[in-house]
Structure 1
Amino acid sequence: MSDTTVTQELVITRVFDAPRELVWRAFTDPEQFAQWFGPVGWSVPRDTVDMDVRVGGHQRFVMVNDEDPSMTSPADGIFSEVVEHELLVGYEEAHGVPGLPDGTRFTLRLEFHEEPGGKTRLELRQGPFDPNVRSGAEEGWGSSFTKLDALLAR
C-alpha cells in the first residue's frame, strides 16, 4: 500500500488601496512586517524579525499566540527570486505539518501588480498543502491582510 497524500496550492488575489511600493515595503521592511503579519490572535514581535531580501537571503520570524505566548510558530525561509516592487519567491522546509512528510518544500510566490487609481493587486501562491491545512492558511492570510489594510491606510 502506498502513502498518497493529496496536496493543493493556495492561490489568493487581493487588491490593496495603496501604491505597489508601499505594499512591497510592508512585506520587506521588518518594522512594518511585524505590525501586520499573522492572523488575528497572533502577533510577530519585532525582535524576532530578520530579513535579508535578496536572492539567497532569508526571512525569519516567530508568530506568537496573543492569549498563550507559549504557543509559537517560527518561520525560516530563503528567497529564491527577488525583483524589487514586483516579485518575491521563497521556500521553507516543512517540519511537523499534518499531511506532509518532513522536509517537504513549501513555496511562496508574491507578485505585486500596479492597478489603476494607485492600487496594488497582489497575487499569492503557496503550497503544497493538505486540503484541511490549506483552508486554515487561506483564513490566516485573509485575517493578516485585514491588518495590512489598516497599516496601509495610515
Structure 2
Amino acid sequence: MTANVMVVVERQFDFPRQEVFRAWTDPQQLKRWRGSPGWHVEDETVGGDLKLGGRHTHVKIRDNDPTTRVVTDGVYSEYFEPDVFVSRERITGDPGIDPNVPLELRVEFTKYGREGKGTLVRIIQGPYDPDVAGWHGEGWEKELTRLQNFLAGTGEYANGGRA
C-alpha cells in the first residue's frame, strides 16, 4: 500500500504558547507526558538540540511489556520558537510505520482566545498508509489529553508521576 495520508489533529489549550511549546521541546517536560495511556518515555533516551538542524530523540516503552519499544529519531527542519517546529523523523518499532521511510511531523502553536492567552496546537504528520492513519490520529488525541493533564497539573501522566 502507498503511504499517502497525512494525519491532522488540533486541540485548544488554555495556556500560553511559550508554555505549551516548551512542554513539547524541553526534554525534561516531554518525557513526563508523551505516550498514549499504557506507554511511557524512557528517561535516559530523551534528548534534544533545540535549533534548526538539531536532533531530538526519545523511546516510548509499553508499560506492561518493556520489550515493546518505539524509537523516534528526528532532525528539526524548521524551528521557530514559540510558533512552529517541523521534524523529519525515523520511527522504529511501530508495526504501522516503515522505519526506512521518514515521516514529517509539523506542530504549530497559534494564539487563540481572549487576549491571545490560549494556544491552538495543530499536528500534521505523515505520510501514513491509509489503513493505519486513523489509529495514529487517535494516538495523538490520547497524547494531547495527557499534555492537557500535564499542563494543568492534574491527572496521571507518564513514568508513574502525578501532575
- How does the TM-score come out when normalised to structure 1? 0.90
Tell me if structure 2 keeps the 8 A contact 1:5–1:100: no
Displaced runs of 4+ in structure 1, greater than 3 A?
Answer: 93-102
The equivalent residue for 1:124 is 123
Question: Is 2:35 the counterpart of 1:64?
Answer: no
Aligned pair partner of 1:25 in 18, 22, 29: 22
Tell me if structure 2 keeps the 8 A contact 1:98–1:133: no
The equivalent residue for 2:138 is 139
Distance of 2:97 and 2:48 partners within structure 1? 26
Q: How many residues end up aligned between the 2 structures?
A: 151
> In the superposition, relative to structure 1, how do residues 99 and 143 fare at CA in structure 2: closer, same or farther (>3 Å)?
closer
Tell me if structure 1 keeps the 8 A contact 2:70–2:91: no
Question: Is 2:47 the counterpart of 1:15?
Answer: no
Give the % identical residues. 37
The RMSD of aligned alpha carbons is 1.8
Structure 1 spans left out of the alignment, 5+ residues: none
Tell me if structure 2 keeps the 8 A contact 1:44–1:62: yes
Question: Is 2:116 the counterpart of 1:112?
Answer: no
Distance of 2:98 and 2:70 partners within structure 1? 18
Moved more, 95-104 or 75-84: 95-104
Q: Cα deviations across residues 8-53 of structure 1 (Å, max 9, x unaligned)?
A: 0001111112110110010011111001101110000221101011
Q: In the alignment, residue 2 of structure 2 is paired with which amino acid?
A: T
- How does the TM-score come out when normalised to structure 2? 0.85
Structure 2 spans left out of the alignment, 5+ residues: 154-163
Tell me if structure 1 keeps the 8 A contact 2:60–2:70: yes
Distance of 1:82 and 1:143 partners within structure 2? 25
